[in-house]
Amino acid sequence: MNGLRSMILSLAEGPAGHEFVAASHAPSPLQPVLFFVLELGAVLAIAGMMLCLYRMVSGPHLADRVLSGDTLAFQVVGLVILLTVRLESTVYLDAALVVAIIGFASTLAFAQYIGNLKRRTES
Amino acid sequence: MIWAFLLNLFLTVVYVMLTANSSTPNVIVGFAIGFFVISVYGLTQEGPTYPGKVWRLMRFGAYFLRILVQANLKIAWECITPGLTQTPRILRHDVSDLNDTQLTILANSITLTPGTLVVDVSDDHRWLYIHCMYAQDRSSAIAELRDLHNRLTQEVFT
Amino acid sequence: MTWQTIGDALSIICALAGIFFMFVGAIGVVRLPDAYNRLHATSKCSTLGIMGLALAAVFHVGTLAVTTKALMTIVFAFVAAPVGSHMLAKAAHIDGMKPWDRQMSDELQQDKDRQAGKSPGNAPREMRLGPQNRASGGPSGADPTPRMSTAV
């Protein structure tokens, strides 16, 4: 778990480092438990993304593929929010909101496409 | 109803901006002042008072959160235990007494309640077509929908 | 026992609930039989999972900026997930997706067929169940038949 923690942090911090991190208060005794829960959540979110990718590859209908993409977007949002809690930073929540909006818009666009598909092939 | 509550939130934002102090106690004070002003204004109007409306809205919110958690636990039980026990149907539900905004709110909350998902709306906005997961008995599934519909009509749309 | 400890305890509870429901949603997308049932899983579980995780962020960090953005994310998830699943279900039905073979009746298809003037097909199970389980309260002769759209 320690190697995973350092890997996640090194991926997440990037060149900006601790510029936006607001760690002014003293850590509480429950903080190690919370960090363990967050790492477990990262692992489970990535496992959920794998499951969504399976459904996206094997979906019998086009709607199955699109809804797995929708779920994938929400899993990414959850992962970004987990990162926010882990780094106590405010800037990552913007990324979460942007991913949610893009996932919603792409779902609507694909739904329009699926709904027009039958009429297009008939004419 | 919703508009009065949104006006209350707007007054809170105006108060916070005017005092230029966005700490949590100041936000609470601003909300309380807005609540008081709208309550006093509401005394001059006919119909139910503003605190009563907010109380009913909060009661509906608690009910809604409860059935949202219940829906998630149902889905979780269905996914985790082996075997599939659903008996799905697509039902038709009469919504001819609602206008478009109320229909949108009803459709969104139907999708988030246990075992129901809105599939389609007829073009004259009269029928809502709902995919029900556990609908072995059609009348009991319709009765659950009717319960949510009545609660929304009585507690939020008044 | 400071406020930070209490906030961390609430944050742990909310994060555990959110993680559990998001993972259950992903399992449901794989396990449930057809697209309508999968949409049940994705709409409900994603909403509550996002809500739990955002509340965990609020309780752990607790500044005003994080609270505002987290509340915006929650409100957006509550609006976006039902609307997206509604659009997808409507599009799948228009495209004529074959439902699960244990689906009992499809009154939307009946109304579409009645609109098109065809005989009611695609509902074999309804016939086998007999008239007492037949749909009641629908558009009968006195009611105007609903006009169904063919576009999203």
Domain ranges of chain B: 2-42, 50-155
What local confidence, expressed as pLDDT, does residue C132 receive? 42
Q: Is B111 close to C108, i.e. CB distance below 8 A?
A: no
pLDDT tier at B82, thresholds 50, 70, 90: confident
Query: Nearest residue of A to residue C4 by CA position?
Result: A28
Task: List the one residue out of B104, B3, A21, A84 whose CA is nearest residue C73.
Answer: A84
ipTM: 0.80
- Residue-wise pLDDT for C25-68, tens only, equals 999 999 888 888 889 888 989 899 999 999 999 888 878 788 88
What local confidence, expressed as pLDDT, does residue A4 receive? 61
Q: Which of C66, C92, C150 sits opposite A61 (nearest CB)?
A: C92
Average pLDDT of B119-123? 87
In the block, residue with structure tokens 């086009």:
A62
Q: Is A63 close to C76, i.e. CB distance below 8 A?
A: no
What local confidence, expressed as pLDDT, does residue C53 receive? 92
Q: Which two tokens stand for residue C75?
A: 């409100």
C139 falls within a domain: no
C57 falls within a domain: yes
- Residue-wise pLDDT for A6-65, tens only, equals 655 655 554 444 444 455 567 778 888 989 999 999 999 999 999 999 999 987 888 899
Residues in B closer than 8 angstroms to C93, CB to CB, are: 119-120
Residues C73 and C123 in one domain: no
Chains contacting chain B through 3 or more C-beta pairs under 8 A: C
Chains B and A touch (3+ CB pairs under 8 A): no
- Residue-wise pLDDT for C88-131, tens only, equals 999 988 888 888 877 777 877 888 888 887 655 444 444 444 44
Residues C82 and C152 in one domain: no
Residues C25 and C45 in one domain: yes
Residues C42 and C117 in one domain: no
Query: C109-114 contacts: CB < 8 A, separation 24 or more?
Result: C109/B90, C110/C135, C110/C138, C111/B92, C111/B122, C111/B127, C111/B129, C111/C138, C111/C139, C111/C145, C111/C146, C111/C148, C112/C148, C114/C139, C114/C145
Residues C37 and C110 in one domain: no
Residues C51 and C116 in one domain: no
Q: Is C73 close to A97, i.e. CB distance below 8 A?
A: yes
Residues C29 and C79 in one domain: yes
- Residue-wise pLDDT for B3-35, tens only, equals 788 888 899 988 888 887 777 788 889 989 998
C99 falls within a domain: no
C138 falls within a domain: no
What local confidence, expressed as pLDDT, does residue C50 receive? 92
Number of B/C CB contacts below 8 angstroms equals: 141
Domain count across chain C? 2
Residues C80 and C125 in one domain: no
- Give the separation between CA A123 and CA B74, rounded to whole angstroms: 43
Residues C21 and C57 in one domain: yes
Q: Which residue range(s) make up the domain with C66? A: 3-94
The nearest CA of chain B is from the CA of C2 a distance in Å of 18
C8 falls within a domain: yes
- Residue-wise pLDDT for B104-114, tens only, equals 888 998 998 88
Report the top-level CATH class of B50-155.
alpha beta
Residues C84 and C120 in one domain: no
Residues C109 and C151 in one domain: yes
C140 falls within a domain: no
From residue B43, alpha-carbon distances to B39, B54, B76, C43, C83 in Å are 7, 15, 47, 41, 38
